[in-house]
Amino acid sequence: MSRILNLISIQLRKDFSARGGIPRLPARTICCTARKHAEEGDAASALGKRWKDTADTVIIGGGCVGASLAYHLAKGGVKDVVLLEKSELTAGSTWHAAGLTTYYHPGINLKKVHFDSIKLYETLEAETGQAVGFHQPGSVRIASTAARVDEMKYQMTRTHWHVTPQYLIGPEKVQELFPLLNIDKVCMSQRQITRRQFDKINFGDFLSVCTRSFLWIVVLTIVFTLVFQVTLRITQIQWKNSTPVLAGLYTPGDGHIDPYSLTMSLAAGARMYGAQIYNPAPVTGLRPTADGKWDIQTPHGTIRANRIVNTAGFWAREVGQMIGFQHPTIPVHHQYVVTATVPEVKALKKELAVIRDLEGSYYLRQERDGLLFGPYEKMEKMVLQDSWVRDGVPPGFGKELFESDLDRIMEHIEMAMEMVPVLKKADIINVVSGPITYTPDLLPMVGPYQGVRNYWTAIGFGYGVIHAGGIGKFLSDWIRNGEPPYDLIECDPNRYGKWTDVPFMCAKARESYGFNNVVGYPKEERFAGRPTSRTSGIYELLKDKCSMGFHAGWEQPHWFYKPGDDTGYKPSFRRTNWFGPVGRECRLVMEKVGVIDLTPFGKFVVTGKDTLKLLDRLFANTMPKVKHERSLSQKVPQLVIPLSVK
């Protein structure tokens, strides 16, 4: 270990001496294959065209998401699409992103977003003539624990929801796709170990003296049993003393893309189909009009638009504050390290697959003839830029970076060096530490916002590059057709309310970042920031007698404890500790009587002479007849106690 740390120290001294100890990197030196050409084209089109006074849709923010939406709207036939960027395209989070792309997502609905993004990126260069730097060597998510293998098997059952290529592969195939893996980490399958044990036993001599009798069968059975036990013990010892590769989830078609070139290509496509892009054009004010339109104020003039879409990245909170909204987004520090040329990488005949070591909580991909390594620290070590929530984003912050802190990611570096030994000898040429935006649950906020007309958001993207193409298409279809093309309810921007205060937002963002690569169980509960202000009058009475769930900020009993129950939250891919108790409660409610806490449910007051007719049509049960009532208020009981009748 000390030798590894010494090597790291030497490499870091080389790195910092080469950079002159400058903590901030003024410009990105990697992944920008078309930078000069794109910058020239962008500068030429900045404000050289006539300023538009009216527009159908104004998009605020020129990162990859905003550019994608402009491209899709214009291509879909929407006239007068305008994108406003406060400084230059990609400024903010896009320009310094690692650019990973994958079909994989643990959820069902967002798989479609990823699929649409990749299919767009595969054809975008041919359509626009602008290079995007798209590489598709595939990716492998490494499983080195039994729980992780279970997770991958669970995810394999979900691949049929969407046409996404995905395979559960063995350790040998993992190493074939990434041959630089430490061979000692690649655990032999149990069958191989068993075969090697059998090779040491002289079965020929043994069988020569045995007859085909019952005794032969008994003896052979005993031998096989002993060999199996020895093999199992050897395997357990090997697994205990290391973190071997047990399996991998292989996704062909995954890879990485140059975020800068991608954005410039999307912008070129948007212009090609008639959209206007203005920069630098910061938005200084937003004013709704009586007819539902918007006046967007800038230093260059005011544009009146039918709708506005906030795609402003980590400036989204400032844009929302112009109209009284406190969007729960917060910038977090994410670091990745780029190495110089690695001879073993340069000697390869084909590009390495992207690997994600889930127990090590990092990704690793090829960057030219070197490697790019990016970890996700534990929640107690990661850094939130919470001063931006309190004081706002510094006005001049655009293409700057934060000061790097490799001590914070040292344990991940050590794990990566053990998994990929060539990293021990690699020189570091770049350390990127930049802001990416998180929401409390890590999911973006996409769609129309309640409380004001024609205000839309596409913000809070922790993985903006892979979401950009699909979200641009999703929102464009929704805006043009009047309804979303498919269900993406988990990204509804209205899932947060006034209960989402800053302490809750910070606690959940810290948890979401730190839990980036934890095992994702079904029916998962996370506990940071809880409880919020949303607790019922009987919360204190019930909280120690049940397992609480979290629903729209509310604490709600999921199941109640009885003597002898295995209590607490214990998720599993098999039957959980709540399987029996929940069944017991279902039987009580169906066969006897029970009372359910519906405090988190929405309450609606329906008025008018046809109230009963409407509700009769909507509800499965027949509404009770109410005489001499012009209005009907359906109220749900709020004081609810679990009840069992014997």
Q: What is the pLDDT of residues 20-64, one digit of tens each?
A: 332 333 333 334 433 444 444 444 344 656 788 999 999 999 999
pLDDT reading at 240 higher than 50? no
Per-residue pLDDT at 20: 36
CA–CA dist 570, 579 (Å, integer): 11
Length of the chain, in residues: 646
The CATH classification number of 42-135+253-328+440-496 equals: 3.50.50.60
* Residue 183 zone, left/alpha/beta (φ > 0; ψ -120 to 50; rest): alpha
Per-residue pLDDT at 531: 97
* 240 contacts: CB under 8 Å, gap ≥ 6: none
More confident residue, 200 or 125: 125
Provide mean pLDDT across the span 430-452: 96
Range(s) of the chain covered by CATH 3.50.50.60? 42-135+253-328+440-496
Q: 627 falls in which pLDDT band (50, 70, 90)?
A: low
Report the DSSP beta bridge partners of residue 296.
286, 303
DSSP string for residues in 568-588: S----SS--TTHHHHHHHHHH
CA–CA dist 638, 600 (Å, integer): 9
Helix axes of 35-44 and 259-272: crossing angle, nearest 10 degrees: 40
Provide mean pLDDT across the span 237-252: 72
Residue from 578, 539, 313, 324 nearest 439 by CA: 313
pLDDT tens readout for residues 154-188: 999 988 777 788 999 999 999 999 999 997 876 54
Per-residue pLDDT at 97: 97
pTM: 0.82
Provide mean pLDDT across the span 631-644: 39
Q: 327 falls in which pLDDT band (50, 70, 90)?
A: very high
Per-residue pLDDT at 3: 40
CA–CA dist 37, 473 (Å, integer): 27
pLDDT reading at 539 higher than 70? yes
* Both tokens assigned to 202: 């002289």
Round to the nearest angstrom and report the end-to-end CA distance of the chain.
63
What percent of the chain has a predicted confidence (pLDDT) above 70? 80
Per-residue pLDDT at 31: 42
Give CB contacts under 8 A, 24+ apart, made by 553-557: 553/497, 553/499, 553/500, 554/599, 554/600, 555/530, 555/531, 556/597, 556/599, 556/600, 557/597, 557/642
pLDDT reading at 543 higher than 70? yes
* 62 contacts: CB under 8 Å, gap ≥ 6: 83, 84, 85, 88, 89, 90, 91, 263, 267, 277, 279
Per-residue pLDDT at 624: 80
Per-residue pLDDT at 153: 96
Per-residue pLDDT at 227: 54
3-state secondary structure of 35: helix
Sign, CA dihedral 307-389-361-412, equals positive
Range(s) of the chain covered by CATH 3.30.1360.120? 530-646
Per-residue pLDDT at 33: 38
Residue from 29, 26, 269 nearest 131 by CA: 269
pLDDT tens readout for residues 552-598: 999 999 999 999 999 999 999 999 999 999 999 999 999 999 888 88
Q: 7 falls in which pLDDT band (50, 70, 90)?
A: very low
The CATH classification number of 530-646 equals: 3.30.1360.120
Per-residue pLDDT at 25: 30
Q: 381 falls in which pLDDT band (50, 70, 90)?
A: very high
Provide mean pLDDT across the span 398-419: 95
